[in-house]
């Protein structure tokens, strides 16, 4: 068992850092890593990214005054140290558990979390907005944005840079670079100039000289301009400049992201710049834990694991993502038109093998879902068969592109929507509850919902054998339900199982809950019919005529009620003068972190809630 010393336990707010000496700061960073490691090993979470920003976060809180100064982490999964330093040490063991603290920034949890951050590349826009709002309120507080190099692949960042670069505001953007090189640094001269440029004395001297030049009568402005042009010519020759300076932001760095003294020094330089600044820090993902350093992708987001071995405690050999990836490889072997696209989620979407075996037909576009959808449209236009594998909550960003760039032209693009339905411990920002509602509003989009691995394989093969128009195949996080793992896909848009005047309509893996409930009800003499939707948003006359025959119809949907399939079917039945009773059960509002089973129970979607509801209304 890890025994902590007293430094971390005494940090109740960021100002408690002010009186720590260098030795105590190093001890604190070690304790943070140990505590973080223990909690994530128990609860799961984002480990490698958080281990990499410990010193960086400590230095930020030493240099700035949160919550007056706003600190924003993008994507937000790298905020664990921030939580430990802002009064949440005592609750940190509840990380990502029901009624516990979130794995992301959350304003309702702490005044030190200015905004919700769960999706990437939005931090600069939000930070700039806070800056301008502060100015309108007569305040001059700093806004610090910590953004990873991966988030720079998101186009929203550059939209924000385009605005920020034309302004003068107290926005400081900390680029946490743990893998991608941004600036080109050449030789010993470059390194020496960086050492000089990163000293606060240098910047004070530079400002003093500029002010002296400006005071020279008549020629001050022109002389200062000439000096600046000469300096920039020299700097561009040595550094080859960079995109940030081209956009009008001041660039500082690179600086060692694990050296608190260097970081504190450069933050002071940035605070005295009187303009937006980008500070380029170099960090090591997974720092301090060998397994995470060697395999940062594996330990990016990880389920509970054994600290001593680095092995996951419960290892599932297969899940829906894995089955999808394997089937894609199988199909691509004989169909050279099949292409796979991912938005920086090769491993998460099960495409590791495809990326190696068919590298010329694999495209990782970075954190750029909008681009991915329109890129897929371009591929489809040339006769290719593009498959965009994307998490449900991330596809939300591509809604306009699905509608405008794909559906209007009815291009054969396939969206494989991973993590559909209730996701669990990542909370509101990652639940896959909205894709059905927003995709079903778009004409020409067909939505398939496999309930097990067999159906996923069959639906993917069926779709790619003759892709016409836009289609989405949505499947959940995790493994197939044991109860229905042998159920075979009929190839029909819907199936009716059993015979009764009471029907339960369902799709996807909720079919397992309803099938179990049906067997329990049957034991007490209550027989129901199950209408299982496979192509879930196609309400044919045949389907409607079948449903209209029942006296009672229940619809259990693991998705948002407003705009969901249950609501749409209910509207169709109403317009067709349905005389029976219709009841739908689904999700209302945003869903906080909790286990999938707990969330299902909360919304009446688990097997026992289904049994209780139908039994209670049985006549």
Strand partners, 496: 531
Are 299 and 328 in contact by the 8 Å Cβ rule? The answer is: no
3-class SS of residue 577: coil
The residue from 31, 34, 327, 369 that is catalytic is 369
Q: 619: closest CA among 551, 547, 531, 554?
A: 551
Pairing mode of beta strands 494-497, 529-533: antiparallel
The residue from 361, 385, 397, 552 that is catalytic is 397
Q: 458: closest CA among 495, 499, 431?
A: 495
Active-site residue flag, 285: yes
Q: What string of H, E and C letters represents the secondary structure of 485-543?
A: CCCCCCCCCEEEECCCCEEEEEECCHHHHHHHHHHHHHHCCCCCEEEEECECCCCCHHH
Buried b (16+ CB within 10 A) or exposed e, 393-409: bbbebbbebbbebbbee
CA dist 617 and 619 (Å) reads 6
- Beta carbons within 10 angstroms of residue 501's beta carbon: 12
Active-site residue flag, 109: no
Taking phi first (over 0 means left), then psi (-120 to 50 degrees means alpha), and beta for anything else, what does residue 366 get? left
Burial category of 33 from C-beta neighbours within 10 Å (exposed 0-12, middle 13-18, buried 19 and up): middle
Q: What string of H, E and C letters represents the secondary structure of 263-312?
A: HHHHHHHHHCCCCCEEEEEECCCCCCCHHHHHCCCCCCCECCECCCCCCE
Are 580 and 617 in contact by the 8 Å Cβ rule? The answer is: no
Active-site residue flag, 558: no
The residue from 62, 83, 106, 285 that is catalytic is 285
Known catalytic residues? 285, 369, 397
């Amino acid at each position: 068992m890890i025994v902590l010393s007293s430094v971390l336990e005494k940090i109740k707010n960021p100002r408690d850092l002010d009186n720590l000496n260098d030795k105590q700061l190093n001890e604190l960073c070690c304790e943070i890593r140990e505590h973080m490691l223990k909690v994530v090993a128990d609860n799961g979470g984002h480990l490698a990214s958080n281990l990499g920003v410990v010193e960086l976060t400590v230095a930020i809180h030493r240099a700035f005054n949160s919550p007056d100064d706003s600190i924003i982490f993008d994507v937000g999964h790298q905020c664990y140290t921030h939580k430990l330093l802002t009064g949440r040490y005592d609750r940190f063991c509840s990380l990502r558990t029901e009624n516990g603290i979130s794995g992301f920034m959350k304003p309702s949890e702490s005044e030190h979390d200015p905004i919700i951050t769960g999706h990437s590349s939005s931090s600069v826009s939000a930070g700039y907005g806070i800056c301008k709002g502060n100015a309108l309120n007569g305040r001059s507080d700093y806004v610090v944005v910590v953004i990873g190099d991966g988030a720079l692949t998101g186009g929203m960042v550059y939209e924000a840079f385009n605005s920020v670069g034309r302004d003068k505001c107290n926005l400081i953007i900390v680029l946490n670079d743990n893998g991608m090189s941004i600036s080109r640094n050449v030789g010993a001269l470059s390194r020496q100039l960086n050492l000089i440029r990163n000293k606060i004395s240098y910047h004070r001297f530079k400002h003093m000289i500029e002010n002296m030049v400006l005071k020279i009568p008549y020629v001050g402005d022109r002389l200062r301009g000439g000096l600046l042009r000469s300096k920039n010519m020299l700097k561009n020759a040595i550094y080859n400049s960079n995109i940030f300076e081209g956009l009008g932001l001041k660039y500082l760095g690179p600086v060692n992201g694990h050296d608190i003294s260097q970081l504190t020094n450069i933050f002071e330089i940035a605070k005295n710049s009187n303009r937006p600044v980008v500070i380029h820090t170099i960090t090591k993902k997974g720092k301090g834990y060998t397994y995470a350093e060697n395999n940062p992708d594996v330990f990016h987001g990880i389920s509970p694991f054994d600290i001593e071995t680095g092995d996951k405690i419960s290892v599932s050999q297969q899940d829906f993502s894995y089955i999808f990836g394997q089937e894609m490889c199988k199909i691509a072997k004989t169909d050279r038109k099949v292409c796979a696209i991912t938005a920086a989620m090769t491993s998460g979407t099960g495409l590791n093998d495809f990326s190696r075996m068919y590298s010329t037909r694999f495209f990782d576009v970075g954190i750029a879902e909008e681009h991915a959808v329109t890129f897929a449209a371009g591929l489809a236009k040339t006769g290719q068969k593009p498959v965009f594998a994307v998490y449900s909550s991330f596809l939300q960003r591509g809604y306009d592109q699905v509608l405008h760039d794909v559906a209007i032209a009815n291009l054969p693009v396939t969206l494989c929507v991973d993590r559909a339905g209730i996701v669990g411990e990542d909370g509101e920002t990652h639940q896959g509850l909205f894709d059905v509602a927003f995709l079903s509003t778009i004409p020409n989009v067909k939505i398939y919902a496999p309930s097990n691995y067999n159906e996923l394989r069959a639906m993917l093969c069926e779709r790619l054998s003759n892709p016409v128009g836009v289609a989405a195949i949505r499947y959940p996080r995790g493994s197939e339900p044991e109860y229905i793992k042998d159920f075979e896909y009929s190839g029909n848009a819907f199936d009716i199982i059993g015979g009764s005047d009471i029907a339960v309509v369902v799709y996807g893996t909720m079919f397992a809950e309803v099938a179990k409930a049906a067997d329990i009800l049957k034991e007490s003499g209550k027989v129901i019919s199950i209408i299982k939707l496979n192509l879930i948003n196609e309400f044919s006359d045949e389907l409607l005529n079948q449903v209209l025959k029942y006296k009672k119809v229940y619809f259990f949907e693991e998705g948002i009620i407003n705009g969901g399939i249950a609501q749409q079917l209910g509207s169709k039945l109403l317009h067709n003068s349905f005389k029976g009773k219709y009841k739908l059960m689904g999700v209302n509002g945003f869903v906080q972190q909790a286990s999938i089973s707990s969330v299902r129970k909360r919304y009446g979607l688990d097997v026992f809630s289904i049994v209780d509801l139908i039994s209670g209304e049985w006549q």
